[in-house]
Amino acid sequence: MSQPPHSAPPRSERWTVASLARAAGVAASTVSRALRNDPRISPEVRERIVTLAQEVGYTPNVLARSLVGGNSGLIGLVLGPVENPLYAELMQRAVTQAAARGWRLLLVHAGPGPIEQATADALLQYRVDGCIITSAELSSRAAIICRDNQVPLVMVNRVAWEHGSAVSCDNEAAGALLADLLIEAGHRRLAVVSGNPTTSTSIKRADGFIRQVRAAGLPEPLRFGGANSHAKGFEAGQAIAALPASERPDAVLGVSDFIAMGIMDALREAGLRVPGDISVVGIDGVGAAQRPPYRMTTVAQPLEDMMERALDLLNARMNGVHRADEVVTLRGELVIGQSARLPARLLAG
C-alpha cells in the first residue's frame, strides 16, 4: 500500500495523535494503538506510524493519556535532600531499573522537613500509577496520602510505622555489628550521633549499637543528633572535640555516612586524629565516604537489591495483586576502611 502524502503541521508545531492520524491517513485510534504496540495493528501500519512519529518529533502526552485510559505510565520517586549522597545513589538505581521495566519516573524532591502540600499535589495531579518513597520525613504522611487515593506505595530505606510496604537494610543489625567490632578492638567509651529522632532508620541503627554497648557492660554511650545532615554531624563532632580528654569518647557511630563525614571533618579541624584519637564509623556505604579524606569503615546497604525488591513489590500492587503490607529486610555488608581501629583478625592478610 502506498503511503499517503503528509498534510500536517510543520515540525516546529506540536504534533498530536490527531495530526499524526491525518498525515498517515488512518484513524486516531489506529495511531494510539500503533504507538502502544497493540497487536491488533499490522506490523506494516505500525512501522509506518512509528516512523512518521519519529520523523516529526512526536512526543506523547502522558497526562492526557492517563485521563482517557486511567494509567499515566508514571512512577513517583520521592527523594530526600539531594545534598545527601545516599539519595543520589538511590535515584540512579531507581532510574536504571525502572527504565529496564519500561517505566517512566516522576522525580519529586521533598527536601528537609515534613511533607509539604506541593509534594502531595505532584503525586496526585500527575496521576502516578505507583510511588516509591525514600525520604525519611515523608514516610508516614506519604503512606496516608497514597492509601487514601488508592496509589500503590513502597518505601525504600525506611518503614512507616502505621502502614505501607517497605524494603530496608537490617539497620539494627548494622548498628550492633559496628558496636561489637569497636568493643572487640578495645574501645571503651562510645558515642552515637543519630539523625531524625522519629525515623525508623535512625532509631533502629542507634538501638542496635546501644544494645550491644550495654550488653558488654560498658558505660552508657553519649548521644548526639537531631537531623541526617553533614552539618549536624559537624556540630556533634565539635561538641565531642570540646569535651575534656578524660570524658571524650574513643569511638563514635554516625548513623549515616553523611553524618559520620561531618563528624570526621569537625574532629580533624579540632586537631584530633581519626582513627588515632577517635574511631568513626558510619552506615550506608555511599561512594563519597570511600574517597579521601574519609575512607570510612561502614556497613553498606545493598541498594541495588533493595530497589529491585521494591519495584517488584510495587509492580505486583499496580497489577492488582492484593497483598498485606510487607516489610522486606536485607543484610548489609561490612566495608573496612581507615576511619576506625578494628580487631586484628579483620586486618590480617
Mean pLDDT for 214-238 is 94
Which amino acid does the sequence have at 248? R
- Mean predicted lDDT score pLDDT of the chain: 86
171-302+334-346 — its CATH code? 3.40.50.2300
| Residue 173 burial (CB count, 10 A) | 16
pLDDT tens digits for 167-201? 999 999 999 999 999 999 999 999 999 988 878 89
pLDDT score of 8 more than 50 = no
pLDDT tens digits for 286-325? 999 999 999 999 999 999 999 999 999 999 988 877 777 8
pLDDT tens digits for 267-287? 999 999 999 999 999 999 999
Domains 72-169+303-330 and 171-302+334-346 share a fold: yes
Which amino acid does the sequence have at 39? P
3-state secondary structure of 349: coil
Percent of the chain with pLDDT over 70: 84
Q: What is the pLDDT of residue 140?
A: 62
Q: Is 104 exposed, middle or buried (0-12, 13-18, 19+ CB in 10 A)?
A: middle
pLDDT score of 5 more than 50 = no
Question: pTM here?
Answer: 0.79
The DSSP secondary-structure symbol of 278 reads -
pLDDT score of 50 more than 60 = yes
Domain ranges of the chain: 17-58, 72-169+303-330, 171-302+334-346
pLDDT score of 231 more than 80 = yes
- Contact criterion met (CB below 8 Å) for 189 and 158: no
Fold of 72-169+303-330: Rossmann fold (3.40.50)
Q: What is the pLDDT of residue 198?
A: 78
pLDDT score of 346 more than 80 = yes
17-58 — its CATH code? 1.10.260.40
pLDDT tens digits for 123-143? 777 778 888 988 766 656 666
User: Would you put residue 240 in left (φ > 0), alpha (ψ -120 to 50) or beta?
Assistant: alpha
- Contact criterion met (CB below 8 Å) for 288 and 261: yes
Q: Are strands 165-169 and 153-156 parallel, antiparallel or unpaired?
A: parallel
Q: What is the pLDDT of residue 137?
A: 61
pLDDT score of 162 more than 90 = no
- SS3 helix, strand, coil % of the chain, rounded to 5? 45, 15, 40
3 against 258, higher pLDDT: 258
pLDDT tens digits for 14-32? 788 888 899 999 998 898 8
